[in-house]
Amino acid sequence: MFVTPGYAEEVAPAATGTDTNAAAATAHTETAAQHGEKGVFPPFDSSTYPSQILWLAITFGLFYLFLSKVVLPRVGGTLEVRRDRIAGDLDQAALMKSEADAAVAAYEQELAAAKARANTIGQEARDAAKAEAESKRKEVEAGLEQKLVTAEARIATIKANAMKEVGSIAEDTATAIVQALGAGKVDKADIAAAVKATGN
């Protein structure tokens, strides 16, 4: 990096050829001997510390300026853009969530209204069916009652007619039995009186 004062010293030119190389090596050895160093790595040479610190400060300052003027504004701009995009996405998500909540609330309200209508329609249908069944039952009962009255009247008429004929049938039967037994001639008036006495 830097040349130490020992390397800057010049040696008087010597003869050409190998004498020049030997003279240079001798000058270098003498310079190193003057500084009291033997093969020290230049960055570890204490005589170059001030220049190294100066260049370190300059390099750090330039690097700091580069970071603060070029890199950090770009990174900050990128972060700002991303922050704005995330905020926009969050706002849009909140808007979509509120719309979804409103849609769900409307759906639930419509569902509740539909259930209420279905219950009302079902109740009305049950009531109508019950009323219709009740009216049909009353009609059937009235028809059966009418038929029962008619049947009882018919039965009473048939029974009365049968009871009227029972006496004559009993008289005819008694006459036939008496004649079959060979009792001779039977008086119909006696048989009628006997049948009448038996019927009472």
pLDDT tens by residue, 179-196: 777 766 667 777 777 777
CA dist 107 and 151 (Å) reads: 64
Residue 159 has pLDDT above 90, yes or no: no
What values do phi and psi take at 149, rounded to 5?
-65, -45
Across the range 91-97, mean pLDDT stands at 95
Residue 71 tokens read as 């890199």
Helix (H, G, I), strand (E, B) or coil at 157: helix
What pLDDT does residue 11 have?
45
What pLDDT does residue 178 have?
75
Across the range 146-151, mean pLDDT stands at 92
How is residue 7 annotated by DSSP? H
What pLDDT does residue 179 have?
76
How is residue 42 annotated by DSSP? G
What pLDDT does residue 129 have?
94
Delimit the domains of the chain by residue range: 1-34, 158-199
CA distances from 67 to 72, 80, 84 (A): 6, 18, 24
Mean pLDDT of the chain: 81
Confidence band for 101, pLDDT divided at 50, 70 and 90: very high
pTM value?
0.36
Q: Which residue has the tokens 């300052």?
A: 61
Across the range 153-168, mean pLDDT stands at 82
Write out pLDDT tens, residues 71-83: 999 999 999 999 9
Helix (H) or strand (E) holding 46: none
Is the CA virtual torsion 177, 180, 182, 186 positive or negative?
positive
Residue 77 tokens read as 């701009």
Distance of CA 44 to the CA centre of its chain: 73
Across the range 4-15, mean pLDDT stands at 46
Burial class, 192, CB count within 10 angstroms (exposed 0-12 / middle 13-18 / buried 19+): middle
Across the range 38-48, mean pLDDT stands at 81
What pLDDT does residue 169 have?
77
